[in-house]
Amino acid sequence: MPNGEAAPETIEEEFGSTSDDEFEDDEQEWKRYEFEGLSPEMQAKIAKVQEQVATWDNAVTDEVESRQVFDDLETDYKPITEDVPAEDQVYRQMEETTEAQKDKVALQDRAARSKMRQRAVLILLVAVVGEALLVYLIKVRQSTPSPQGDFKQADADAAQAMLDNWRGQPDPVFWAGIADYVEKANSSLQSQMVMMGYIKNWVAADPITWGPTEKSDDILALTRAVTPGHAGDMYRQVAGMQHNGAPLQRAVAADLCEHALAELIAKSQSSS
């Protein structure tokens, strides 16, 4: 990301003008980049999973069902389990802003959104995942989906292992990777917001009780961390934030970032 350049606002701005061939070439470059940062042992493990993933393309799900699954995750705001004191009225306004910005994600071109989710999953899981498998991975936290068709139990077990590997990654390393990606890729604010939704979907969080204005204060601190050309500073900052003297749970950190991104998008819209 060129120094001083602000991130684009929408998914369509980021992916709308990219042809399928251009996107595929870019995807391969990002795959190589992500692999380079892994240990030889991890590279071998991911390569083995990737080889297995390639055999799951025939596990096609119903298109209407797939769209509903993606819409439920990408365009609806689902908060974590928490207790935010009534006096934090600033946060109540932030909730409304986030819900409104999620509604605007729903208006983005579906082809652009498809590219966005492919890229998000590659960055998060370090694997290229087809939409049929992605539907399954999204459902894992919502229920206990059963393998069907060409997608066997062994495949489901491997998919679970992929998520377990992701969950086991140290949080400082995880957030540093997100920070580097959003700056190198000039990732749109909407894409980043959706990525936070994926993170919350794939990792559970214990219920959290916030101080009187703690949550809104944390969100505002994250918005102030972002400057043109330094979008990743939000993630570098959230990696070091604490609650009651302990590091933030990953899903809680993602929730704060999701709200901060919605605030930044709303601010951009009001000034344009």
Q: What angle do CA 212, 216, 217 make, to 5 degrees?
A: 85
Full residue range of the structural domain in which residue 213 is found: 11-271
**Tens of pLDDT, residues 254-263:** 999 999 999 9
Predicted confidence band at 267 (pLDDT cuts at 50, 70, 90)? very high
CA distance 272 to 174: 33
User: Which token pair is 203?
Assistant: 């990792």
130, 136 Cβ separation under 8 angstroms: no
Is residue 5 a part of any domain in this protein? no
Who contacts 25 (Cβ-Cβ below 8 Å, separation ≥6)? none
Is residue 137 a part of any domain in this protein? yes
**Tens of pLDDT, residues 19-38:** 999 999 998 899 888 877 77
Q: How many CB atoms lie within 10 A of CB 79?
A: 13
Structural domain count of the chain? 1
Is residue 231 a part of any domain in this protein? yes
- DSSP string over 99-152: HHHHHHHTTS-HHHHHHHHHHHHHHHHSS---HHHHHHHHHHTTS-PPP-TT--
Helix (H, G, I), strand (E, B) or coil at 242: strand
Write down the mean pLDDT value for the chain: 88
Is residue 4 a part of any domain in this protein? no
pTM of the model: 0.91
Predicted confidence band at 50 (pLDDT cuts at 50, 70, 90)? low
Share of the chain above pLDDT 70, in %: 90
Virtual torsion, Cα 19, 24, 29, 33, nearest 10 deg:
120
Output the pLDDT for position 49. 66
